[in-house]
Chains A and B, each alone.
Chain A
Amino acid sequence: AQKVTQAQTEISVVEKEDVTLDCVYETRDTTYYLFWYKQPPSGELVFLIRRNSFDEQNEISGRYSWNFQKSTSSFNFTITASQVVDSAVYFCALSEAEGVTGGGNKLTFGTGTQLKVEL
């Protein structure tokens, strides 16, 4: 069974601080996909990144960076120089690589981390 753990329920930082959101996952699949989503107060889940299990390269996109370590089953997310607009709930999620014909795979979510960035 798949499982995603986000141990940090809530994090509060002051603007311009760096912050890392932790994600640990469990799966028996050898091929899988990991995701991070942002959920602002409006409710929509905004896609941030997808990483497949064969690609352990870290990625940087502007102020965002991701550290994927297969050896520790972790996929952590760092926001550099945080801003108030970064305040949201962030979800880490896991999907198996192969599903039924035509698609339709289950996306397993963590419980989310509420990030509050204050002035």
Chain B
Amino acid sequence: ETGVTQTPRHLVMGMTNKKSLKCEQHLGHNAMYWYKQSAKKPLELMFVYSLEERVENNSVPSRFSPECPNSSHLFLHLHTLQPEDSALYLCASSQGAGKYGYTFGSGTRLTVV
């Protein structure tokens, strides 16, 4: 039990599909994040939510749409994706600023066909 649970673990979707990634944290943290990990690239921060409000959108295309209904849940809604969006999507949470560390989920391996 890592404290941060992501579902599904694997997802294959067509370019015209709509799907959602789910993240749930059981740690009582007040900030949640989406990161993208592509092959041979650094982890890229996509979105940051603090106290359920989006505080950063790191120039992410609109085909990615985050949602944070409460402090424990974070979603990433996907629509009309491109093959280059295939990657590992990691969710993380933290309490306050970085001084207390970040806890990551196991990720969703997304393949766009």
Indicate which residue in A44, A91, A109 contacts B105 across the interface (CB closer than 8 Å): A44
Indicate which residue in B49, B51, B97, B104 contacts A105 across the interface (CB closer than 8 Å): B97
| B107 within 8 Å of A (CB atoms) | yes
Indicate which residue in B42, B97, B106 contacts A111 across the interface (CB closer than 8 Å): B42
Are A35 and B96 in contact, CB atoms less than 8 angstroms apart?
A: no
Which B positions have Cβ atoms within 8 angstroms of A?
2, 29-31, 33, 40-43, 45, 48-51, 55-56, 88, 90, 92, 94-99, 101-107, 109
Are A97 and B101 in contact, CB atoms less than 8 angstroms apart?
A: no
Chain B residue at minimal CB-CB distance from A31:
B99
Task: Determine the chain B residues whose CB is within 8 A of the CB of A4 once the complex forms.
Answer: 42
Chain A, interface size category, equals: 20 to 34
Task: Determine the chain A residues whose CB is within 8 A of the CB of B90 once the complex forms.
Answer: 43, 45
Could you list some 9 contacts between A and B, CB below 8 A? Answer: A33-B99, A43-B109, A44-B104, A50-B101, A91-B43, A96-B98, A97-B98, A99-B96, A107-B102
Chain B residue at minimal CB-CB distance from A47:
B101
Are B42 and A104 in contact, CB atoms less than 8 angstroms apart?
A: no
9 tightest A-B CB contacts, nearest first: A95-B98, A104-B50, A103-B31, A45-B104, A102-B51, A104-B31, A103-B96, A44-B106, A43-B107
